[in-house]
């Protein structure tokens, strides 16, 4: 009965209640949408990094992790790869030689990481082959040794298509080796730092320069059916290849996990701040309600409505009012998430800035269902907090004063 009374009381002053409902709905929608965007950007960034750079799982010689010197090699790599590919949940795998090096043209030089890859194999594991903006990904046969570099590096070194680049690196025997490459392809990912720091050549060419054997590699990159499988698969691989070091993307880039957790917390804090701001609006409205209904509350207390019931009645009115706003806000948010989670939002106009930070210009916002549940709980807590002050005010009314006819 009190619930019914509270509910109907909300609609006594429709305009005022609708203003509060609207404010809550807009506040929640805004907060949820921003959180969704942040989540979407983070997930995108993680995806991009996994797709182009780190893969789901990597295997190295254990010492290579400490000191990425190419002398720490995986031997019998072809056989190892066959074994790996026969494991469940693994879709693709590829191996590479890898070293830090100096890439220079006639005018400039830059420190880079050079990958010696087998193009056909690499294509299936990493997305770089899809990011070629000029030339190709080792598809045309060339007389000279071929190199694929990022657009940013190309600008930095003034290395256009067909230009020569000298790569200097330390060979396995400890001596500096240098070899000459010609630019056959330029790629552009949405991470300009990556484009600046990484170059690709054929494995046979890098191996020859550094003294690595054809059946040796520094790194095996593995793709699993989904990102979530990576950790478990990595664990099972580790037990099979105990002399090597197997890492899932979570261990390779713990910063991704840190970032995801941070985004999660950011979302909650954002909602708390928004709700904190809304609390004042709700308190103000409820204080007006109490002032307007002084006589009525006095009458209720006179005829025998006790304090817990008065408290409960006002708290329910506040909570229901807030929950109506929350329900509308959540409905709009879920709608927006469904829509934009499907179509994506194009940030092409700001893309340059975003790409510099490693974000993609297309963002697919999302929030977890847990987030909606917690937001709802936060709204209820907000409403309870917001009703404390108005209720205290109501309970202080002196029924004898309140009912005196003036």
Partner 1 sequence: MNVIEIKNLHKTYNETQVPVKAVNGIDLQIEQGEFTAIVGPSGCGKTTLMNMIGGLDQPTEGTISIDGNLLNQFKSTGLIDFRLHNIGFVFQAYNLLPVLTVKENVEFIMQLQGKSRKECEKRVDEMLESIGLKDKKHQRPNQLSGGQQQRVAVARALASKPKFILADEPTANLDSKSTSDLLDLMERLNLEENMTFIFSTHDERVMKKARRLITLEDGKIVKDVTVK
| C-beta closer to partner 1: residue 12 or 240 | 12
Q: How far is the CB of 299 from partner 1 (least distance, A)?
A: 5
| Range in contact with partner 1 (rule: CB under 8 A) among 62-70, 170-178, 186-194, 395-403 | 395-403
| Range in contact with partner 1 (rule: CB under 8 A) among 168-176, 258-266, 277-285, 303-311 | 303-311
Name the 3-class secondary structure at 138: coil
Encoded one letter per residue, x for contact with partner 1 by CB under 8 A and - for no contact, window 305-324 reads xxx-x---------------
Say if residues 119 and 138 touch (Cβ distance below 8 Å): yes
| C-beta closer to partner 1: residue 1 or 176 | 1
Residue 354's alpha-carbon distances to 30, 93, 129, 130, 196, in angstroms, are: 21, 30, 22, 20, 16
| C-beta closer to partner 1: residue 356 or 400 | 400
| C-beta closer to partner 1: residue 174 or 304 | 304
| Range in contact with partner 1 (rule: CB under 8 A) among 87-95, 175-183, 228-236, 296-304 | 296-304
Distance CA 45, CA 358 (A): 6
Within residues 128-187, the interface with partner 1 by CB under 8 A covers none
Within residues 3-42, the interface with partner 1 by CB under 8 A covers 4-5, 8-9, 11-12
| C-beta closer to partner 1: residue 348 or 405 | 405
| C-beta closer to partner 1: residue 13 or 170 | 13
Q: What is the DSSP letter of 301?
A: H
Q: Residue length, the chain?
A: 406
β-pair type (132-135, 90-104): unpaired
Distance CA 251, CA 91 (A): 20
Crossing angle of helices 294-302/254-292, nearest 10°?
80
**CA-CA-CA-CA dihedral for 317, 320, 321, 322, to nearest 10:** 120
- CA 102 to chain CA mean position, Å: 32
| Range in contact with partner 1 (rule: CB under 8 A) among 223-231, 235-243, 327-335, 396-404 | 396-404
| Range in contact with partner 1 (rule: CB under 8 A) among 39-47, 88-96, 228-236, 299-307 | 299-307
Q: How far is the CB of 25 from partner 1 (least distance, A)?
A: 24
| C-beta closer to partner 1: residue 147 or 321 | 321
Say if residues 176 and 169 touch (Cβ distance below 8 Å): yes
| C-beta closer to partner 1: residue 10 or 330 | 10
Nearest to 189 by CA among 46, 49, 57: 49
Distance CA 176, CA 35 (A): 50
Q: How far is the CB of 397 from partner 1 (least distance, A)?
A: 11
| Range in contact with partner 1 (rule: CB under 8 A) among 1-9, 102-110, 119-127, 165-173 | 1-9
The residue from 182, 193, 250, 295 that contacts partner 1 (CB under 8 A) is 295
The residue from 86, 143, 228, 304 that contacts partner 1 (CB under 8 A) is 304
Q: What is the DSSP letter of 349?
A: G
| Range in contact with partner 1 (rule: CB under 8 A) among 124-132, 254-262, 290-298, 365-373 | 290-298
Distance CA 350, CA 69 (A): 39
Largest CA distance in the chain: 105
Distance CA 356, CA 351 (A): 8
Q: Does 288 bind partner 1 (CB under 8 A)?
A: no
Nearest to 119 by CA among 180, 216, 241, 204: 204
Q: Does 405 bind partner 1 (CB under 8 A)?
A: yes
Residues of this chain that interact with partner 1 (CB under 8 A) are 1, 4-5, 8-9, 11-12, 295-296, 298-307, 309, 399-400, 403-405
């Amino acid at each position: 009965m009190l619930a019914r009374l509270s509910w109907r009381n909300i609609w006594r002053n429709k305009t005022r209640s609708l203003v509060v409902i609207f404010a809550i709905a807009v506040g929640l929608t805004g907060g949820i949408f921003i959180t969704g965007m942040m989540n979407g950007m983070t997930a995108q960034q993680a995806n991009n990094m996994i797709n182009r750079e780190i893969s789901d799982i990597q295997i190295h010689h254990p010492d290579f992790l400490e000191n990425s010197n190419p002398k720490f090699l995986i031997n019998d790599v072809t056989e190892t790869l066959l074994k790996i590919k026969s494991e469940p949940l693994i879709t693709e795998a590829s191996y590479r030689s890898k070293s830090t090096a100096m890439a220079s043209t006639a005018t400039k030089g830059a420190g880079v990481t050079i990958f010696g890859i087998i193009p056909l194999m690499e294509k299936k594991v990493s997305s770089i082959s899809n990011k070629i903006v000029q030339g190709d990904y080792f598809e045309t046969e060339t007389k000279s040794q071929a190199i694929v570099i990022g657009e940013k590096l190309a600008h930095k070194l003034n290395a256009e298509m067909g230009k020569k680049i000298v790569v200097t690196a330390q060979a396995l025997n400890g001596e500096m080796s240098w070899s000459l490459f010609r630019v056959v392809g330029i790629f552009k990912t949405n991470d300009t730092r990556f484009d600046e720091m990484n170059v690709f050549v054929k494995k046979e060419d890098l191996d020859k320069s550094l003294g690595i054997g054809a059946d040796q590699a520094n790194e095996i990159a593995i793709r699993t059916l989904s990102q979530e499988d990576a950790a478990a698969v990595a664990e099972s691989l580790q037990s099979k290849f105990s002399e090597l070091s197997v890492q899932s993307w979570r261990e390779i880039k713990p910063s991704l996990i840190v970032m995801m957790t941070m985004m999660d917390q950011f979302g909650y804090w954002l909602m708390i701040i928004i709700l904190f701001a809304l609390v004042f609006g709700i308190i103000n409205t409820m204080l007006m309600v109490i002032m307007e209904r002084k006589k009525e509350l006095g009458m209720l207390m006179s005829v025998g409505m006790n304090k817990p019931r008065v408290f409960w009645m006002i708290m329910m009115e506040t909570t229901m009012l807030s929950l109506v706003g929350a329900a509308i806000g959540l409905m709009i948010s879920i709608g927006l998430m469904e829509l934009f989670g499907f179509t994506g939002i194009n940030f092409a106009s700001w893309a340059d800035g975003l790409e510099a930070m490693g974000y993609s210009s297309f963002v697919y916002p999302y929030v977890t269902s847990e987030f909606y549940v917690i937001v709802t709980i936060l709204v209820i807590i907000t409403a309870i907090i917001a009703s404390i002050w108005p209720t205290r005010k109501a309970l202080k009314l002196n029924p004898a004063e309140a009912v005196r006819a003036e």
